[in-house]
A and B are shown apart, each in its own frame.
Chain A
Amino acid sequence: MSAGAPPVAPILQALFSHWRRHPVQLIALVVGLAVATALWSGVQALNAEARASYDAAAEQVGGGVARLVPTDGRTLDQADWVALRRAGWPVSPLVEGDVTLSGETLRLTGLEPLSLPQMTGLDLGGGPGSDQTTGGDGDGGGFAAFVLPPFQTLAAPETLRRLSLRAGDRPVLQDGARLPPLVSAPGIGAGVLVVDVGVAQRALGLEDRLTALALSPDGRPREALATVTGPRLKRVEPERPGDLDRLTRSFHMNLTAFGLLSFTVGLFIVHAAIGLAFEQRRGMFRTLRATGVSARRLSLALMAEILVLATASGALGLVGGYLVAAALLPDVAASLGGLYGAEVPGALALRPSWFLAGLAMAILGALVAAGQSLWRAATMPVLASAMPEAWAASQRRWLRRQGLLAAGVVALGLMLHAFGGALFGGLVAGFGMLAAMVIAAALMLPVVLSVALFFAETQARPGLMRWFWADGRQQLSGLSLALMALLLALAVNVGVGTMVGSFRLTFTTWLEDRLAADAYFRASDARQADAILAALESDPGVARVLPNWRTETRVEGWPTEVYGFADDPLYRGRWPLLDTVDAPWDLIAAGEGLLVSEQMAYRLDLAPGQRLTVPGALGDWTGTIAGIYADYGNPKGQIRVDVDRLSALFPDVERLAFGLLTVEGERARVVDMLATRFGLGPDQLRDQAGIRALSLSIFDRTFVVTAALNTLTLGVAGIALLTSLVTLSGLRLPQLAPVWAVGLTRRSLGIMELWRMMALALATAVLALPLGLGIAWLLVAVINVEAFGWRLPLHLFPADWARLAALAVLVAALATLQPMARLMRMAPARLIAVFAAAR
């Protein structure tokens, strides 16, 4: 007889037979893991899509290299390019402008591929003389086809899809100009059309003109720039690769944190289902051990079982994740576009790495959720204990363990608070603290509920009501995981809701103050600006015209917008300042002071009264910080100086943007005059209400995703509750049958189950409130400050809390309906079976 290990097939067959007999448990496990994987992988798909588009943008034509641009902000003569090439400058001509196609504004980029391939990410395939294909899908015909008639228009497949165009089509622009045939080119950024430079010049009406020269880092010019072109051109360093990534990092981190939370809540379901299956199979494990299956072999078989279930559920979850991501992507894309100017395609691409990572996460999650059960199976003695564990003693031990664990997590959170910032960076430490707070609260929940139920029990009249509460306490160990999931979902809802609500309230008030002028306009060029100013000066309906000029620089390495504004009572009276020196406006008007945005002050640790050096076009200038102002929603740093100081610092600053104050009742007429007489389009002329509406719509879309994930998490908690109750309902018969036997109807028992569950949900909602407010505080006072650099006043929304508590009770009631109905309809024989040793 062989002394080898027993074959694994019969063991697996025995293990899987459990799931055949308990399909509801199997469904709970699969649904839990699939939902957890779906939410996690959905968020990851969104992040991956956005990051891919940032990478595409960074590698885009003419991006990533320094440029020479006209100092007057207009266009440059093509002759300058020729002169620079002759002087050894490794420059390549670029013509860029916005075009309208099928009602959408697209970026048209014209380039000269002879010199460009060496300096940018665009690969047209092989260079001159080559007949290799372009960066397109193979239908392009290569370099020659791009530069020779009929030319080509390269566009990302996503752009083509969005415009309902196909490769080979010749798009007609809104102004009637016809572009060369389209070629699908995956390497091109979304919303960008790439053509030969000559084609772009004709399409944009810029014959013999260029908008910039791309400058290769290689090559040694023989002559200085000023010697060749005079002061007409200036060198602009490229956006640092990763600037967009850096700016959007916190946005993605927020999404990831939410995804992780949803995943965790989903794992509660898995843990509950696997734990229950373990308990129910305890006898089977003992039999297997007694018949010669070693503990190791049993553990391996259990592991294999988990892997099979996790892989199947994970695959199902990935399908769900794709659907979640596809549904949320348009809002994420709109948010990223509105907040950071990032172009993210509106359609989702399937990436193998995403699929594998999602599956790995599902398996890892399942193993974590099953860890306790696997360990117990591995260490379980073959013989059953003669004395079954006493409920009261095990309850006490379990609660003590939970309490100790919670205390440990709290200690970890405090350590993170003290040292986390220095070790991991403020944002990671902030999220770590958030996680510690949430986990500690979840662990404490059963302890607190047990105390509350015990109190209710002692206060209740002996008899039915006392049993009602005592039974609730006994149910607690089985329900605690689901209630923890509910607590997390509710607390995050309260926390994020409070944060978003506070933000919206603050943002709305701030917009009111900030958008002080009646309208804002931006002229196309200096000539038009002069004409408009002249017209407005003679218009009796115009009260004042305030310059609002802007340029960009880097202050201590941080991308910074520099605005120039006039000394005006409007600003003195309404501009919202968070902190100031004495008489800040006088300091600014004297050209000595500057205002700094809150996020910039936070990042560079600046305070009013300090001196700050601003790099200008003609050298540095150091001014005194007169005040700090809120600048919500802006990822870049921002400073504001007097308009004359700006002109001195940046003599070539565009003087095209202005705010307009009108005489009462004249606004509509003046705005209308500007639109009709000067042809200012909607992107050049906006009234205050329009800007406010636009800003609020961007704001709201930003939090659409948050709201969706909030709701989904609450839904997952509801499923966790349902699966726990369904699986517990069978186990609870020994507790319910005696009460039924002494004279309570199944209906009364069912209704009491409903009331008890609603009471537990309400208690959980009440406990979720302080936790949610703690989360809100952490989000507003730590994470927001670290991520965005601004801090908000915290507003409270009790009506929302009441609504959420009602929702929690409703979710609990809905989750209880099925088990309740089952109990009410249960055949008496099943209850009798509890008593009947023999029939």
Chain B
Amino acid sequence: MTATAERRAEQDDPTGTDPAAGAFLSLDGVHKAYPTPTGSLDVLAGVDLMLERGRSVALTGESGSGKSTLLHLIAGLDTVDAGRIVLDGADIAAMREPERAEMRRASLGIVFQQFNLIPSLTIADNLSFQARLADRYDAYWCEQLAVRLGLSAALDRYPEQLSGGQQQRLAIGRALAARPSLLLADEPTGNLDETTADAVMALALELVAETGCAFLMVTHSTALAERLDRRVHLRGGRLTARPTPA
């Protein structure tokens, strides 16, 4: 099968199931509801998804469709109501909080739309923070990241002294410094202008490819989504292969 045909086939199957490849991340019938004053709101109503190492998937959907919720569940920041999320063979839904925290430290890198850097730490300390936390600090790699991210001249500064693009590059660097197995990004370029967003995204994809991690990105941008291996759309609490007219 050619690469294009392979991609087409994956896009037709929203779960991305490839029996030939072992799934690094798999979601099986994930449900999540939130209580509201008028009753329970089913945000996710049976989401299935698979993602292999070294592959990337864009998660699109309308505002309020549950994209971020799904990302938070995968990150172990929130817990599922029903279903399974298996990362590298371990069911996140069955983990207790300390185990989920350890999983985040060891295996995940997360990039948020609001950057969420640590304002009291310098750029250098922010960059290496998670790597040190995971006890996987690699000075050479951090240096390389700083150079690649264009931050090596600003290592002693604080996040607030950086531009929006620089801050997001730093957030990506922090997430990748520990060489995670899975990079999660929630609208990583949502706060950036188009040119900066393009540059940041290009750099992110380059680094993702270098580290060989899986990459799941929540985005509104069709253009950005197109740059990833696969694209799934969240609508009515379920994944579809591509957006359908409302």
Which residues from chain B contact A462 at a C-beta distance below 8 Å?
124-125, 128-129, 132, 137
Residues in chain B within 8 A of chain A (CB atoms): 43, 63-64, 66-69, 72, 75, 77-79, 97-98, 101-106, 108, 110, 112-114, 116-121, 124-125, 128-130, 132-134, 137, 158, 160-161, 174, 186-187, 190
Cross-chain contact of B133 among A463, A474, A746, A835 (Cβ < 8 A): A463
Whether B125 lies near A837 (C-beta < 8 A) is no
Question: Contacts A467-B118, A741-B110, A832-B78: A392 and B105 contacting too (C-beta < 8 A)?
Answer: no
Query: Which residue of chain B has the shortest Cβ distance to A395 in the bound complex?
Result: B120
Give 24 pairs: A residue, B residue, CB < 8 Å, sorted on A.
A388-B160, A461-B132, A462-B132, A463-B128, A464-B132, A466-B121, A467-B121, A473-B120, A735-B120, A742-B105, A742-B130, A742-B174, A743-B104, A743-B130, A744-B105, A828-B78, A829-B78, A832-B78, A835-B77, A837-B68, A837-B113, A837-B187, A837-B190, A838-B68
- The interface residues of chain B lying within 8 Å CB-to-CB of A679 are none
Count of chain A residues near B, Cβ 8 A: 39
Inter-chain contacts of A834 with B (CB < 8 A): 114, 116
Listed from nearest, the 3 A-B pairs whose CB atoms lie closest are A743-B105, A463-B132, A474-B120
The answer to whether B120 and A390 have CB atoms under 8 Å apart is no
Give residues 815-839 of A contacting B (CB, 8 Å): 828-829, 831-832, 834-839
B156 to chain A, nearest CB (A): 11
Is A831 in contact with B160, judged by CB distance below 8 angstroms? no
Indicate if the CB atoms of A741 and B75 lie closer than 8 Å: yes
CA distance A466 to B112 in the complex (A): 23
Bound CA–CA A744/B105 (angstroms): 8
Q: Is the CB of A743 within 8 A of B161?
A: no
Question: What residue in chain B is nearest A474 (Cβ atoms)?
Answer: B120
* Given contacts A744-B101, A746-B97, A837-B114, A467 and B128 within 8 Å (CB-CB): no
B142 to chain A, nearest CB (A): 10
A145 at the interface (CB under 8 A from B): no
CB of B72 within 8 A of CB of A832, answer yes
Tell which of A391, A740, A747, A835 touches B114, judged by Cβ atoms closer than 8 Å: A835
A742-B104, A839-B66 known; A463-B137 Cβ under 8 A: yes
Any B CB within 8 A of the CB of A734: yes
CB <8 Å contact, B133 and A828: no
Residue A737 is within 8 A (CB to CB) of chain B in the complex = yes
When C-beta atoms are compared, the residue in chain B nearest to A453 turns out to be B120
Contacts beyond the supplied A392-B161, A737-B116, A837-B187: 7 A-B pairs with Cβ under 8 Å: A738-B116, A738-B117, A740-B77, A742-B133, A743-B105, A835-B186, A837-B68
A739 contacts partner chain B, Cβ-Cβ < 8 Å:
yes
Q: Determine if B160 and A392 form an interchain contact, defined as CB atoms under 8 angstroms apart.
A: yes
B125 touches A467 (CB 8 A): yes
In the assembled complex, the Cα of A829 lies from the Cα of B68 at a distance in Å of 12
Closest Cβ of chain A to B52, distance in Å, is 23
Instruction: List A contacts of B43 (CB < 8 A).
Output: 839
Q: Which residue of A lies closest to B131 (CB)?
A: A463
B105, closest chain A residue (CB):
A743
Q: Which residues of B contact A474 (CB under 8 A)?
A: 119-120
List the A side residues contacting B69 at CB < 8 Å.
836, 839
- Assembled-state Cα–Cα distance A838/B125 (Å): 29
Residues from chain A with a CB closer than 8 A to the CB of B67 are 838-839
Query: CA of A639 to CA of B53 in the docked complex: distance in angstroms?
Result: 98
A388, B161: Cα distance in complex, Å:
11
Known interface pairs A390-B158, A832-B78, A835-B113. Does A743 touch B66 (Cβ–Cβ under 8 Å)? no
Q: How far is the CB of A742 from chain B (nearest CB, A)?
A: 4
A528 at the interface (CB under 8 A from B): no
Contact A832 to B77, CB < 8 A, known contacts A462-B132, A467-B125:
yes
Of B106, B120, B121, most buried by chain A (CB within 10 Å of CB) is: B120
Contact of A743 among B79, B102, B118, B160 (CB under 8 A): B102
Instruction: Give the shortest distance, in Å, between B71 (CB) and chain A (any CB).
Output: 9
A745 within 8 A of partner (CB): yes
Contact (Cβ within 8 A) A831 B118: no
Q: Does A470 reach chain B (CB closer than 8 Å)? A: yes
Known: A462-B125, A743-B101. A835 touches B118 (CB 8 A): no
> Is B97 a contact of A745 with CB atoms below 8 Å?
yes
Task: Judge whether A518 is part of the interface by a CB distance below 8 angstroms.
Answer: no
Closest to B157 in A: A392
Interface readout for A350-371 with B: 1 if CB under 8 Å, 0 if not? 0000000000000000000000
Quote the shortest CB–CB distance from A826 to chain B (angstroms): 11
Nearest-CB distance from A733 to chain B (Å)? 11
> What's the Cα separation between A219 and B125 when bound, in Å?
93
A464's contact among B66, B110, B133, B174, by CB below 8 Å, is which? B133
CB distance from B135 to the nearest CB of A (A): 9
- In the complex the two chains form, what is the Cα distance from A838 to B61 in whole Å? 11
- With a CB–CB cut-off of 8 A, which chain B residues contact A748? 101
Q: Are B128 and A390 in contact, with the CB atoms below 8 A? A: no
Q: Is the CB of A835 within 8 A of B120?
A: no
User: Within residues 382 to 423 of chain A, which ones have a CB less than 8 A from any CB in chain B?
Assistant: 388, 390-393
How many angstroms between the C-alpha atoms of A473 and B117 in the bound complex?
16
Q: Which residues of A contact B114 (CB under 8 A)?
A: 834-835, 837
Complex Cα gap A463–B98 (Å)? 19
A838 close to B63 (CB less than 8 A): yes
Write out the residue numbers on chain B whose beta carbons fall within 8 Å of the beta carbon of A745. 97-98, 101
Cβ of A72 under 8 Å from chain B: no
- The residues of A that contact B187 with a CB separation of less than 8 Å are 837-838
A687 sits at the interface (CB 8 A): no
Docked CA distance A172–B66 (Å): 90
Task: Please tell me if the beta carbons of B110 and A742 are within 8 angstroms of each other in the complex.
Answer: yes
Judging by beta carbons under 8 Å apart, are A747 and B110 in contact?
no
A743 to B184, CA, bound (A): 14
Per the bound structure, the CA–CA distance linking A462 and B126 in Å amounts to 9
Q: A832-B77, A838-B63 are in contact. Are A743 and B133 (CB under 8 A)?
A: yes
Measured CA separation A158–B120 after assembly (Å): 63
Report how far A463 CA is from B161 CA in the complex, Å: 21
Whether a CB of chain B sits under 8 angstroms from the CB of A471 is yes
Chain B residue numbers with a CB within 8 Å of A464 are 132-133
Minimum CB–CB distance for B178 against chain A, Å = 9
Instruction: Determine which of A470, A737, A740, A743 lies in contact with B121 in the assembled complex, contact meaning CB atoms within 8 Å.
Output: A470
Residues in chain A near residue B105, CB distance under 8 A: 742-744
**A742→B102 CA distance, assembly (Å):** 9
